[in-house]
């Protein structure tokens, strides 16, 4: 290749994104996110309804999701990491209250303060460091305290909570604006651990009588007002996932994903499909190859026959099972029973949507809807339906 040719290649710029060239089209309906938040807000009654937007709003885009919720009236947002919080602050401005669930990272107090972030403090060393920073700045900066009530993950233990409640110097240095805990089994409303945690949290809340309290996640918001306290913190329910393991989903679907048919091939009886030849045709068959794979977040565990499967897609109003192994960039589906006119190169199949729900895909993969959503890859063309379309009144 001549130097002139190389120069010409370097002069090219990427073309504008075109959905027709994408491996898949991922649509996020912000109106349905807002509708779900309003539904949860109604259930929470007098309690504040916050929004958990960590992990890029469960893979759907923290900034557009949070902006839609902010415009709808949400003011409290929970992220996991301070960097997530800083990006959100730049998008939402000063009015939003942004809480960092992973707490205060060592030596990073100035970053939190400079970006208006509120650490959720889970240990006495974190409380001590935040209090010392507040004294140095001569400002009583806001924070939350997380107390463990049985999950044994983040949070002060009960003895530490009692010690903190009695330490006026520590509490006086900062502005404690929330005491919180997290339910372990709220997705199963009948589990007795829910009531044990609620009772324990009520005792802890009494140690901080003037501080707002928060216990409920998505499922906790829906299982009863006794769990609401002063603030609820829904996450998965905002994004259309079922917060319950044993009840119909009360939330509206938010996400749809369509992948293109790359080719259709005919197999003789006995021929196999994919790596490992794990699927064998029991009859003359037609197979469609779709343009998405595990590099796009379509989990390899959805390979034939899947744990609770087979996994399905929908083409032309007909379900078609995923066959063979999920590859990096493609999957194969059996379209033998789909009319030929409905399946040809360029047609798009519903991989997630109203007929193939995120909870069904999670069941087939042997996982939860959280993992399905947060695994959605970066190669899709992402289309956002503006809030206001389909929102509950």
Give the pLDDT band of residue 14 (cuts 50, 70, 90). low
| Residues in a beta bridge with 180 | 146, 214
Nearest to 106 by CA among 133, 131, 129, 135: 129
214-245 pLDDT per residue, tens: 999 999 999 999 999 999 999 999 999 999 99
Q: What pLDDT is attached to residue 20?
A: 67
- In the numeric block, the tokens 């493609």 are attached to 330
CA atoms of 261 and 292, how far apart (whole Å)? 10
Is residue 268 predicted with pLDDT exceeding 90? yes
Averaged pLDDT of the chain:
94
Q: Which residues contact 20 (CB under 8 A, 6 or more apart)?
A: none
CA atoms of 337 and 320, how far apart (whole Å)? 8
- In the numeric block, the tokens 């080719």 are attached to 263
Sheet of 97-100, strands arranged across: 48-49, 231-232, 213-214, 175-180, 142-146, 117-121, 97-100, 76-79, 51-52
Which is catalytic among the residues 3, 41, 43, 54? 54
CA atoms of 136 and 175, how far apart (whole Å)? 14
Of 7-21, 248-262, 279-293, 331-345, least confident by mean pLDDT is: 7-21
Query: CA angle, corner 372, sides to 371 and 378, nearest 5?
Result: 105
359-388 pLDDT per residue, tens: 999 999 999 999 999 999 889 999 999 996
Is residue 1 predicted with pLDDT exceeding 80? no
Q: What pLDDT is attached to residue 68?
A: 98
Q: Which fold has domain 255-385?
A: Lyase, Ornithine Decarboxylase; Chain A, domain 1 (2.40.37)
Kindly list the domain boundaries of the chain, sorted by start residue.
50-239, 255-385
| Averaged pLDDT for residues 81-101 | 98
Supply 335's token pair: 């379209």
Is residue 279 predicted with pLDDT exceeding 60? yes
Is residue 22 predicted with pLDDT exceeding 90? no
Is residue 392 predicted with pLDDT exceeding 70? no
Give the pLDDT band of residue 7 (cuts 50, 70, 90). very low
| Averaged pLDDT for residues 290-305 | 97
Count CB neighbours of 309 within 10 A: 19
| Averaged pLDDT for residues 13-34 | 82
Give the pLDDT band of residue 12 (cuts 50, 70, 90). low
The answer to whether 363 is a known catalytic residue is: no
CATH number of the structural domain 50-239: 3.20.20.10
Give the pLDDT band of residue 23 (cuts 50, 70, 90). confident
CA atoms of 255 and 143, how far apart (whole Å)? 33
Nearest to 52 by CA among 373, 375, 387, 379: 373
| Averaged pLDDT for residues 2-13 | 50
Which is catalytic among the residues 97, 239, 258, 275? 275
Give the pLDDT band of residue 389 (cuts 50, 70, 90). very low
* pTM beyond 0.85, yes or no: yes
| Averaged pLDDT for residues 141-169 | 96
Supply 150's token pair: 């049985």
The answer to whether 54 is a known catalytic residue is: yes
Q: What pLDDT is attached to residue 5?
A: 47
Give the pLDDT band of residue 4 (cuts 50, 70, 90). very low
Note if the bond before 185 is cis, omega within 30 degrees. no
Note if the bond before 305 is cis, omega within 30 degrees. yes
CA atoms of 214 and 246, how far apart (whole Å)? 24
Q: What pLDDT is attached to residue 16?
A: 67
């Amino acid at each position: 290749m001549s130097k002139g040719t190389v120069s010409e290649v370097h002069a090219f710029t990427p073309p504008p994104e075109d959905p027709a060239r994408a491996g898949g089209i991922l649509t996020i309906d912000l109106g349905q996110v807002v509708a779900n938040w309003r539904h949860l807000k109604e259930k929470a009654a007098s309690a504040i309804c916050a929004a958990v937007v960590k992990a890029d709003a469960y893979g759907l885009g923290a900034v557009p999701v949070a902006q839609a919720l902010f415009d709808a009236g949400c003011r409290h947002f929970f992220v996991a990491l301070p960097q997530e919080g800083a990006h959100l602050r730049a998008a939402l401005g000063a009015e939003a209250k942004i809480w960092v669930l992973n707490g205060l990272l060592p030596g990073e107090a100035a970053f939190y303060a400079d970006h208006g972030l509120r650490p959720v403090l889970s240990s006495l060393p974190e409380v001590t460091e935040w209090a010392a920073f507040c004294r140095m700045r001569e400002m009583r900066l806001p924070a939350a305290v997380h107390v463990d009530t049985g999950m044994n993950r983040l949070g002060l233990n009960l003895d530490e909570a009692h010690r903190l409640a009695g330490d006026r110097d520590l509490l006086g240095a900062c502005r404690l604006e929330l005491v919180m805990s997290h339910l372990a089994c709220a997705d199963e409303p009948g589990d007795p651990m829910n009531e044990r945690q609620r009772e324990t949290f009520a005792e802890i809340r009494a140690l901080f009588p003037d501080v707002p309290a928060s216990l409920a996640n998505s499922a906790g918001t829906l299982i009863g007002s006794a769990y609401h306290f002063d603030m609820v913190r829904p996450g998965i329910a905002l994004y259309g996932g079922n917060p319950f393991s044993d009840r119909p989903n009360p939330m509206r679907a938010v996400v749809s994903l369509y992948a293109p048919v790359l080719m259709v091939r005919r197999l003789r009886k006995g021929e196999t499909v994919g790596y490992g030849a794990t699927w064998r045709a029991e009859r003359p068959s037609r197979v469609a190859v779709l343009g998405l794979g595990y590099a796009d977040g379509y989990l390899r565990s959805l390979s034939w026959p899947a744990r609770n499967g087979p996994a399905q897609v929908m083409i032309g109003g007909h379900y078609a099972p995923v066959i063979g192994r999920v590859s990096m960039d493609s999957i194969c589906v059996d379209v033998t029973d789909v009319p030929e006119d409905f399946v040809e190169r360029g047609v798009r199949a519903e991989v997630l949507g109203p007929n193939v729900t995120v909870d069904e895909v999670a069941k087939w993969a042997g996982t939860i809807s959280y993992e399905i959503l947060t695994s959605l890859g970066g190669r899709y063309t992402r289309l956002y339906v503006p809030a206001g379309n389909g929102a509950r009144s």
